[in-house]
C-alpha cells in the first residue's frame, strides 16, 4: 500500500520544516516524492507559502529557505558586470574561487523594470551545474536583454574576499567601469 497523503496544511508545514533544516536546495521533485504528490502540487504549495511571507526562493538547483543571518556575520556588495554569454562560466568561477557567493543576477528591462534571478552559487560545482542547466534547457541569460550588462549581489564572510573577487573581475575586463562605456 502507498504512503498516506498529507493534507495541504500538513504538507506545507513539512516543506517549511525540511527547508529550514538544510542549507542545500531541495528540488520540487524531491519534495513531491517525499509528500506523495505531484511536482505541480509542490509548486502551488511553495507559491502559497511565499504569499504567507515565508522567505523561500527558487533557484536552478531547487528551493531554499532564506535563513536570517546576523548583520555582522556576512558582508554584501552589489557589483556591475559586462561580458558575453561565453564568459559566464569564467566570471562565476572567478567569484567563487575567492570564497564569495553569487546570490543573484539583476538586469533592468525597458518594459518590466528590474528583473532578478536567484542564483545562490558558491562553488565551482554550482557553477558547472548552472552552466549545464543553461545548455540543457537552451535557456538565455538575463544579461542578453541588456547587451551583457548586469548586476550581481555578492556575499562573503569578509570584505577582503569580495574585494579579491572584484579585483579578479576587473583584471579580466568583466567588472563594469566608466571606461567600459
Residues belonging to the binding site for Ni(2+) are 83, 91, 150, 152
- Cell representation of residue 111: 518594459
Alpha carbon distance 125, 132 (integer Å): 10
Alpha carbon distance 29, 38 (integer Å): 8
Question: Residue 8: phi, psi to the nearest 5?
Answer: -60, -45
Q: Which distant-in-sequence residues (6+ apart) come within 8 Å of 94 by Cβ?
A: 165, 168, 169, 172, 174
Q: 3-state DSSP call for residue 77?
A: strand
Find the length of the chain: 181
Return the closest-CA partner of residue 105 out of 153, 172, 175: 153
- Binding site feature residues: 83, 91, 150, 152
Q: Tell me the chain's radius of gyration from C-alpha atoms.
A: 18
Amino acid at each position: 500500500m502507498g504512503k498516506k497523503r498529507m493534507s495541504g496544511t500538513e504538507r506545507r508545514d513539512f516543506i517549511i520544516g525540511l527547508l529550514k533544516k538544510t542549507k542545500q536546495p531541495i528540488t520540487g521533485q524531491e519534495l513531491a516524492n517525499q509528500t506523495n504528490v505531484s511536482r505541480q502540487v509542490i509548486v502551488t504549495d511553495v507559491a502559497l507559502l511565499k504569499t504567507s511571507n515565508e522567505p523561500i526562493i527558487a533557484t536552478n538547483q531547487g528551493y531554499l529557505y532564506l535563513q536570517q543571518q546576523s548583520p555582522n556575520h556576512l558582508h554584501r556588495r552589489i557589483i556591475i558586470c559586462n561580458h558575453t554569454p561565453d564568459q559566464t562560466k569564467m566570471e562565476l568561477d572567478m567569484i567563487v574561487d575567492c570564497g564569495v557567493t553569487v546570490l543573484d543576477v539583476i538586469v533592468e528591462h525597458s518594459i518590466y523594470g528590474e528583473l532578478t534571478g536567484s542564483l545562490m552559487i558558491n562553488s565551482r560545482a554550482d557553477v558547472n551545474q548552472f552552466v549545464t542547466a543553461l545548455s540543457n534547457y537552451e535557456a538565455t541569460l538575463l544579461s542578453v536583454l541588456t547587451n551583457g550588462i548586469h548586476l550581481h549581489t555578492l556575499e562573503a564572510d569578509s570584505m577582503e574576499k569580495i574585494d579579491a573577487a572584484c579585483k579578479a573581475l576587473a583584471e579580466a575586463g568583466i567588472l563594469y567601469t566608466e571606461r567600459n562605456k
